[in-house]
């Protein structure tokens, strides 16, 4: 079955900063992107393995919420990133004791879109548990680098806290004007504070999720899917296995 052809989204003038990125896509187009992302081939297999990211093995935030498991690393692979062997061993075993209390400080019911300034700083600020987990996964704290980049780290964290951690990759970066993941949590926080006629990002994402019929998705995941599908293009989007393109789903 040939994927459905989607009309290109209309673009607003003024660039593609984080807030504008989602509003570049009409609600109807965005909902269609999400539906297409979760569609299957005639044999029942998903057109995009990433559509199983949040539900594989019952989800990372519901099963062993304070530990990264082998199932979580398999789920991350559904988004076409590779966790090197040394990193997998370290995350699953060697650093598990260090990471567990940090995960415990990130509530599974905390939602990015509902954070105020104080809670955002406490959870995701420079001294918060989110940043400490990020630095540990990436070995930014003096450890020997093991090949976990910004895209892979964001996807591991998003698997464990889907309502709290946004995914970053080069397509999202291109759509939002973010050159890398540095400061993205702050930029998205500011974007969620902005409003225009009809509401802000939260209200728009809730509407997209409802029209797509995917109530199980976090708003951050809806945001990720829409930006990625719009950035890659519905006819050319495909998952990759070439590690040189890791993170490009």
Residue 144 pLDDT exceeds 90: no
What confidence category does residue 11 fall into, taking pLDDT thresholds of 50, 70 and 90? very low
The model scores a pTM over 0.95: no
Segment 95-131, tens digit of pLDDT: 999 999 999 999 999 999 999 999 999 999 999 999 9
Percent of the chain residues topping a pLDDT of 70:
86
pLDDT of residue 12: 36
- Spans of all domains in the chain: 18-245
pLDDT of residue 116: 97
Contacting residues for 240 by C-beta, under 8 A, at least 6 apart: 80, 246, 248, 249
Residue 249 pLDDT exceeds 90: no
Segment 50-87, tens digit of pLDDT: 999 999 999 999 989 999 999 999 999 999 999 999 99
- Nearest-angstrom CA–CA distance, 29 and 5: 11
């Amino acid at each position: 079955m040939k994927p459905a052809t989607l009309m290109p989204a209309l673009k607003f003038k003024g660039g593609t900063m984080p807030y504008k990125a989602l509003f570049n896509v009409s609600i109807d187009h965005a909902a269609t992107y999400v539906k297409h992302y979760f569609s299957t081939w005639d044999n029942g297999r998903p057109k995009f393995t990433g559509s199983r990211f949040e539900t594989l093995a019952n989800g990372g935030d519901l099963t062993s919420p304070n530990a990264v498991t082998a199932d979580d690393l398999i789920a991350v692979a559904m988004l076409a990133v590779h966790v090197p062997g040394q990193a997998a061993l370290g995350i699953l075993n060697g650093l598990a004791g260090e990471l567990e209390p940090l995960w415990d400080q990130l509530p599974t019911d905390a939602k990015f879109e509902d954070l105020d300034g104080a809670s955002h700083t406490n959870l995701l600020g420079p001294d918060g548990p989110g940043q400490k987990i990020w630095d540990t996964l990436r070995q930014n704290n003096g450890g020997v680098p093991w090949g976990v980049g910004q895209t892979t780290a964001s996807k591991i964290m998003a698997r464990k806290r889907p309502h709290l951690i946004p995914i970053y990759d080069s397509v999202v970066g291109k759509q939002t004007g973010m050159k890398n993941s540095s400061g993205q949590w702050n930029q998205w926080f500011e974007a969620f504070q902005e409003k225009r006629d009809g509401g802000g990002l939260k209200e728009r994402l809730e509407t997209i999720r409802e029209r797509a019929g995917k109530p199980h998705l976090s708003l951050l995941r809806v945001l990720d899917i829409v930006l990625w599908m719009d950035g890659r293009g519905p006819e050319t989007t495909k998952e990759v296995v070439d590690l040189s393109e890791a993170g490009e789903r």
